Amino acid sequence: MRILLYFLLVGQTQSFTLSSSRSFHHDCHDSALSSSKSSDDENNSCSSSTRNKISRIGVLCSGGDCPSLNACLRAIYKSATQNEIEVIGLPRGFPGLLLDPPLQITCEKDTFASPMMLTKGGSKLGGSVGSDYKLIDSLSLDEKASRISAALQNLSIDGIIATGGDTSMNLISQMLQHADQDSPIPFIGIPKSIDNDIPATIYSLGFQSAVTTASQAIAAVRDTAESHRRVIVVECMGRDAGYLTLHTGIAGGADTILIPEFSFDNEKLLQHVSNVYKENQCAVIAVSEAATLPDSGKSAYYTTADGKSRLGGSAEVIARYISESLELDARHVVLGHVQRGGPPNAFDQVLASTLGAHAVKAICEGYDQKMVNWNGTGVELLSLEQVRNVPPKSIGPDYPELVAAVQMGIYCGEITKNDS
């Protein structure tokens, strides 16, 4: 109701046409509007020059799944239909648009508006599969662009909202711009990543839920560590960012937290684990998949069945190192995809609902090439330029949760001001 009210207030003087006509989006944007919007990041109001005719939007989930994508899809669906905008599901992410005909599903109200969507993990639209990535790689930029133009024509959609990490969001926005130079189809991105490494965000969708799940796993292995007087090293995801491991370690009560941003000193690590063990007869260590290893100073990689090199294996190496150096019974656990599944927590349900609804609001107001972002005090629209070509976020020495962990006596590696 609030969104509708908003439209009534700001849209009264111009025809905010919510017709069901399938006329393509060219009449939604004159070039003056496009340029004024793209150069004005602060202006979140639906300016009086806005003349949108959005009648059908496509929604897709790009990249890996995470908890709260369905909650986000529900918010998009409910906000759009509330404003008489039809929602088309674009399954299997961005590659689905490259197929002929493009993949699409009808978003049924019974499913997409259902409160069940709030708690179900994964994505009703599904994610990309292995062959999809091969397809992307095999096509030139021009080929991809022309296929996307054809797909957008075929689906008659006036805008796209996508959840994704920074990589996939950039890819999609570039494709859309390239595909449709004269009149870019509005694109609004919603940040999602359990790694929490998307530039300019505080929390992206899925992160807090992954922390909840992973910290419960740490608490569970502590029971065994205590009973059997073991050291257990728990490997968390997060790629090159330590957010998931740090937050999980704090929430799960880890004694040591090793993240990629700060390498550790071998002797200090052993001394710390030894001290903790003497006191408690057990120890739990949270380690990032990309944490540096004791001898090489590099991250661990393993080779998949199809010959690809992937990050992972740090916990096993560190457990063996502790076992051999301290003569303790040290084991390792790799949490892996457990962290990406399961129901979202309430924080993510609210964040996903908020960002999904604001994405629809933004697209109705004529914004393009933006990412909706909760910045701690409000929801803002960031230019994708602010996200593109910016390195992923990582933890610096002053990150408050890191400072807190160190303050509590948790060994987090050698934290130096120029090591971040």
Ligand X SMILES: *[C@@H]1O[C@H](CO)[C@@H](O)[C@H](O)[C@H]1NC(C)=O
Residues binding ligand X (CB under 6 A)? 36, 42-43, 45, 47, 49, 101, 154, 156, 375, 377-378, 380
Query: Any idea which residue has 């199809």 for tokens?
Result: 306
Q: Kindly tell me which of 27 and 226 has the beta carbon lying closer to ligand X.
A: 27
Cis upstream peptide for 260 (omega within 30°): no
- Residues assigned a catalytic role: 195
CB of 101 to ligand X, least distance (A): 4
CB of 48 to ligand X, least distance (A): 7
What is the torsional sign of CA 278, 284, 289, 290?
negative
Let me know if 302 is exposed, middle or buried by CB neighbors in 10 A (0-12, 13-18, 19+): exposed
Q: Which two tokens stand for residue 293?
A: 């290893």
**Closer to ligand X by Cβ: residue 244 or 355:** 355
Cβ 282 to ligand X shortest distance, Å: 42
Interacting residues of 223 by C-beta distance below 8 A, sequence separation 6+: none
Give the phi and the psi of residue 9 in degrees, each rounded to 5: -70, -50
Distance of alpha carbon 255 from alpha carbon 360, whole angstroms: 44
Residue type for position 154: N
Closest to 122 in 3D by CA, of 92, 150, 145, 152: 92
DSSP secondary structure, 386-410, as one string = GTTTSPPP---TT-HHHHHHHHTT-
Cα(70)–Cα(78) distance, rounded to whole angstroms? 12
- 3 state DSSP class of 42: coil
Largest CA distance in the chain: 77
Using CA atoms, how far apart are residues 58 and 89, in angstroms rounded to an integer? Answer: 6
What whole-number distance in Å separates Cα of residue 111 and Cα of residue 109?
5
Angstrom distance (rounded) from CA 221 to CA 284: 8
The amino acid sitting at 283 is A
User: How many angstroms from the chain centroid is the CA of residue 408?
Assistant: 29
Smallest gap from residue 35 Cβ to ligand X (A): 11
- Give yes or no for a cis peptide into 101 (omega within 30° of 0): yes
Minimum CB distance to ligand X, residue 54 (Å) = 17
Nearest in space to 310 (alpha carbons), one of 321, 297, 299: 299
Residue closest to ligand X (Cβ): 378
Cβ 365 to ligand X, closest distance in Å? Answer: 11
Bridge partners of residue 370, in order along the sequence: 188, 383
Nearer to ligand X, 39 or 303 (CB): 39
Helix ranges, 17-112 (H): 31-38, 69-82, 109-112
**Between 244 and 362, whose beta carbon lies closer to ligand X?**
362
Q: CA-to-CA distance for 109 and 96, rounded, in angstroms?
A: 22
